[in-house]
C-alpha cells in the first residue's frame, strides 16, 4: 500500500503528516519528536503559526539522536500574506528556514490567494475589522516563489486555499516556470471538495487536506456545530474495522490519494493517527462518508470575504 504521493517534481510526499497549527510553542517540540518516533516523516508548518522555532528544535533533536536524516524528512511551510510583495518573499522564506534550522524546504506554499498590507501585524485590520489587503497580484508573488526554487531554498512550490480559477490563472500564466506541486485545502467528510480535488489531480497537482478531523479544537467552535468524530455513522464504520473514528476519516482521504496532516500534541493520538495503512474502507463505506458533505467550513477567513480574490465565493 503506497504511503506517499509522487509530486509533479518527481519527489515523494508522505500521505501522512503532522499538522502544527494551534500547537503551542511549549508543546510542539515534544509532539514533533514523538511523531518522528512513531514513523512520521512529513511535517506541516507555517510562519503564521508562530511555532516554527520549536518545530525546528524537535526535528534537530531527532537528527542529532541519529533517528532520522534531513533527507528522510518532508518539511512544508507557507509564505504568509503580509510578505506577498515580490521583494519580501525571499526574506520570509529565509526566516522560516532559520527558525526551522534547515537549509531547504521540501515544499513552500502561498498560504492564501491574496496578500495583506506588509508590516509587523499578521492580520492588519481596518476600522471595520476587515483585513487590509495589499494589491500585489498573486502571479507576481508566484514569480518570486519560482525564484526560491532556482536559489535552492525550496524543492517544490504550491498553494493553499486556492480555488480552481485561481490555480488556472497560475497554470496559464505566460512564462510560467514551475507549476504548483500541491494545493492544501480544508477537507473532511463535511467538506468533501470532490470537484476541486478532481480538478487538481487532473492537472498533476497533489492535494493536502487540512483540518481532516474537522478541527475539534478550533477556538471558535460553537455548541451547535456538527462534531465529525461523534457522528454515529462514522462510529459504526470505525467499530466494524476495529478502528477509531479519527482513523476512519483519515483513511477516507488516503484512499482518495489525498495527503492528510492531522494536528495533535498528545503522543497517544499522534501514534493512533499514523495507524491508517493496515485497513481499507469498502466502496460503500467511501460512498457513505462522501454523502456527509454539507459544505461546512472551519476556516472561512471571514476578515477577507470582501477581498476581490476571496476564494470561497466560487463553487470550487
Residues 6+ apart with CB under 8 A from 136: 84, 85, 86, 115
The question of whether 316 is a catalytic residue gets the answer: no
Number of other CB atoms surrounding residue 173 within 10 Å: 15
Number of other CB atoms surrounding residue 300 within 10 Å: 12
Q: Which of 40, 47, 49, 84 is catalytic?
A: 49
List alpha helices for the chain, DSSP H: 25-38, 52-64, 89-100, 138-150, 164-171, 194-202, 232-241, 245-254, 267-274, 283-290
Cell numbers at residue 275, please?
495507524
Quote the DSSP letter at residue 191: B
Give yes or no for a contact between 116 and 131, defined as CB atoms under 8 angstroms apart.
yes
Cell numbers at residue 200, please?
487538481
Give yes or no for a contact between 45 and 100, defined as CB atoms under 8 angstroms apart.
yes
Pick from 51, 42, 65, 41: nearest CA to 21: 51
Please identify every residue annotated as catalytic. 49
Amino acid at each position: 500500500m503506497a504511503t506517499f504521493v509522487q509530486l509533479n517534481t518527481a519527489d515523494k510526499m508522505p500521505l501522512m503528516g503532522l499538522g502544527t497549527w494551534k500547537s503551542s510553542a511549549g508543546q510542539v517540540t515534544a509532539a514533533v519528536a514523538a511523531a518522528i518516533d512513531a514513523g512520521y516523516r512529513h511535517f506541516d508548518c507555517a510562519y503564521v503559526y508562530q511555532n516554527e522555532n520549536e518545530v525546528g528544535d524537535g526535528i534537530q533533536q531527532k537528527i542529532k539522536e541519529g533517528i532520522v536524516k534531513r533527507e528522510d524528512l518532508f518539511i512544508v511551510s507557507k509564505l504568509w500574506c503580509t510578505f506577498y510583495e515580490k521583494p519580501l518573499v525571499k526574506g520570509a522564506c529565509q526566516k522560516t528556514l532559520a527558525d526551522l534550522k534547515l537549509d531547504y524546504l521540501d515544499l513552500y506554499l502561498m498560504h492564501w490567494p491574496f496578500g495583506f498590507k506588509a508590516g509587523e501585524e499578521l492580520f492588519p485590520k481596518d476600522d471595520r475589522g476587515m483585513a487590509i489587503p495589499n494589491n500585489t497580484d498573486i502571479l507576481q508573488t508566484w514569480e518570486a516563489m519560482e525564484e526560491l526554487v532556482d536559489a535552492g531554498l525550496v524543492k517544490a512550490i504550491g498553494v493553499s486555499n486556492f480555488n480552481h480559477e485561481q490555480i488556472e490563472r497560475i497554470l496559464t500564466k505566460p512564462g510560467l516556470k514551475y507549476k504548483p506541486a500541491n494545493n492544501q485545502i480544508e477537507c473532511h467528510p463535511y467538506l468533501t471538495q470532490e470537484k476541486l480535488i478532481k480538478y487538481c489531480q487532473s492537472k498533476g497537482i497533489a492535494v493536502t487536506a487540512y483540518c481532516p478531523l474537522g478541527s475539534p479544537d478550533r477556538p471558535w467552535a460553537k455548541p451547535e456545530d456538527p462534531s465529525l468524530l461523534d457522528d454515529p455513522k462514522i462510529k459504526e464504520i470505525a467499530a466494524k474495522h476495529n478502528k477509531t473514528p479519527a482513523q476512519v476519516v483519515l483513511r477516507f482521504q488516503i484512499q482518495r490519494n489525498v495527503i492528510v496532516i492531522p494536528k495533535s500534541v498528545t503522543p497517544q493520538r499522534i501514534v493512533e493517527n499514523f495507524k491508517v495503512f493496515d485497513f481499507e474502507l469498502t466502496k460503500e463505506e467511501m460512498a457513505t462518508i462522501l454523502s456527509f458533505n454539507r459544505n461546512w467550513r472551519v476556516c472561512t477567513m471571514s476578515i477577507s470575504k470582501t477581498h476581490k480574490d476571496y476564494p470561497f465565493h466560487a463553487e470550487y
